[in-house]
Structure 1
């Protein structure tokens, strides 16, 4: 079986493609962020983690987690909320649904870490690779006898 040699530009292109595939793999691992419900009543603030939805939009379902962030949900999880404000019926209660660790944030962090460790690895291997390259150049361009 014949072994084909790849040119230097082909090797660099192959490494870049593998790096991009690794970065895309990281985004799939960053799926399914956690949703939170923030209940605000006057000066009181209460944050509750919502149960994860097993049918997330990425997997073909619909995200229902923020649909459960209602005034009733806030009053059920913390019955003492809004007792001192107004009528205590929850009219002053404001609910806010948000996601922490979104896909974009996690992708940026993973990409930063991958690039940083890649550059550190390259910096650590550079003296070794330079020595190999110089030995290879000396073998291929030897002087001709006179």
Structure 2
């Protein structure tokens, strides 16, 4: 068990040091125009970048006439939606890394457990006192 912990400690340290390096997130705005959708990278100049994910932001950035009817009154308001999200967030990365560390730890533990059990059994039998028969008497 101690060997498994020794193997997991460097992985856990790597997990948290990588997490500190990945603090900078990138926010995205997904614009839905009817059945079409487009994803745009939001500028990170605001402390709340999701406040920029608006209908006007989408209309200004969409090309190829994908949302031509959105700008005028012919398009119903429920046909246009926006969604703000962060891709590769810190929380998601930590969850995946913890899962991987646990799985690899269990695999290593399952692999070495028979050897550790055999070693304990051999050590126990070696510590037992067996009297020597005195044949001269």
TM-score (norm: length of structure 2): 0.63
How many angstroms does 1:106 deviate by? 2.7
Q: Say which of 122, 126, 130 aligns to 1:139.
A: 126
Superposed, 1:14-93 pairs within 5 Å as: 15=5, 22=12, 25=16, 27-28=19-20, 31-50=23-42, 53=44, 63-79=47-63, 80-85=65-70, 87=72, 92=77, 93=80
Change (3 A) 1:129 1:69: same
TM-score (norm: length of structure 1): 0.60
After TM superposition, the runs of 4+ consecutive aligned structure 1 residues lying more than 4 A away are: 90-93
- Greater shift, 101-110 or 27-36, is seen at 27-36
Between the two proteins, the alignment pairs up a number of residues equal to 126
Q: Secondary structure at the match of 1:110?
A: helix
Residue-by-residue CA offset, 1:6-64 (whole Å, 9 max, x unaligned): xx8xx59xx39x65x8176265466444422011223332122335x4x9xxxxxx744
Question: What stretches of structure 2 of length at least 5 have no aligned partner?
Answer: none
Q: Is 2:29–2:84's contact at 8 Å kept on the other side of the alignment? A: yes
Question: What stretches of structure 1 of length at least 5 have no aligned partner?
Answer: 1-7, 56-61
Q: Is 1:42–1:85's contact at 8 Å kept on the other side of the alignment? A: no
The CA RMSD measured in Å over matched residues stands at: 3.8
Larger RCO, structures 1/2 (Cα 8 Å, 6+ apart): 2
